[in-house]
Amino acid sequence: MSDLTSDTVAPVAPAGNGISSSQGYLTVVVGPKNNHFTANKALIISRSTFFKTAASKRWTDGRPKHIILADDNPEQFRDYLQVLQDNALDPQQHWTFVQTGLIYILADKLGDLRTSNICVDFIIKDLEVDDAVPGDSFINFLYEHTIPGSKLRKLCIDYYIHEANIVGMDRELERLPARFWHDIVVESHELRKNHGLGYVDDIFRDRVVEQDDCTYHQHDETHPACEGV
Ligand SMILES: [Zn+2]
């Protein structure tokens, strides 16, 4: 990713501070150095429940207030805005699993499940098209930054159970978090319980990329299930 300045979000909206919502933009101040971003108001509040709520509350004394994300990383927020605008991760850019995971986590935190689902689909495509393997750095990252039940954790658990080729991965496997192995054992037990040993051949070839579209997505009232599922 390139170096970050507040002007790098120019494609999302004209640069500038304190733009009022009547002009159709929200100003968002991100991180310890107060990087300013401008975002398309209609777009961001239609997707993010956090921004929808924040935008409705910010006229406290009759003047538009900036929305502040003091604890977030400006670079990740810039990436989030770009995915929000494009409805996709830039295919010209190389995205590591961790970079994609950071956008996923930020989008999830902002209540923008559509963007987090875009990140999930990008990772699934990486597994399928580029034969990439989510290794120990990504899985350790996930277990540090997501909660039990995370769809992205589930995707990795399923991938390791059903299709990962772990030949030559001894060093990486040693570095995987204990909680991940725990989840693999629990999921394997569930599969055996639900399907019986006679079906081992079938159930252990249940590939991630062949699951229904919404298997690893999150949906709610604001973000209904994908069409055609
Ligand atoms: Zn879906």
Question: 119-177, pLDDT tens digit by residue?
Answer: 999 999 988 876 678 999 999 999 999 999 999 999 999 999 988 888 888 898 999 99
Angle at 21 between CA 59 and CA 116, to 5 degrees: 100
Q: What is the pLDDT of residue 59?
A: 59
What's the CA-to-centroid distance between 157 and ligand 1, angstroms? 19
What's the CA-to-centroid distance between 170 and ligand 1, angstroms? 34
pLDDT tens digits for range 171-210: 989 999 999 999 999 998 898 888 776 666 677 777 888 8
Q: What number is the average pLDDT over the span 40-67?
A: 83
What's the CA-to-centroid distance between 226 and ligand 1, angstroms? 4
Pairing, β 25-30 against β 35-40: antiparallel
CA distances from 228 to 88, 117, 221 (A): 19, 16, 17
pLDDT tens digits for range 202-220: 777 778 888 888 999 999 9
Of residues 52, 25, 37, the one with CA closest to residue 113:
52
CA distances from 68 to 25, 40, 65 (A): 15, 16, 9
In this structure, what token pair is assigned to residue 161?
A: 């159970």
Gyration radius from the chain CA atoms: 20
Per-domain residue ranges of the chain: 146-208
Residue list, CB under 5 A from ion ligand 1: 214, 217, 226
What's the CA-to-centroid distance between 143 and ligand 1, angstroms? 23
What's the CA-to-centroid distance between 223 and ligand 1, angstroms? 9
What's the CA-to-centroid distance between 64 and ligand 1, angstroms? 35
What's the CA-to-centroid distance between 117 and ligand 1, angstroms? 7
What's the CA-to-centroid distance between 98 and ligand 1, angstroms? 21
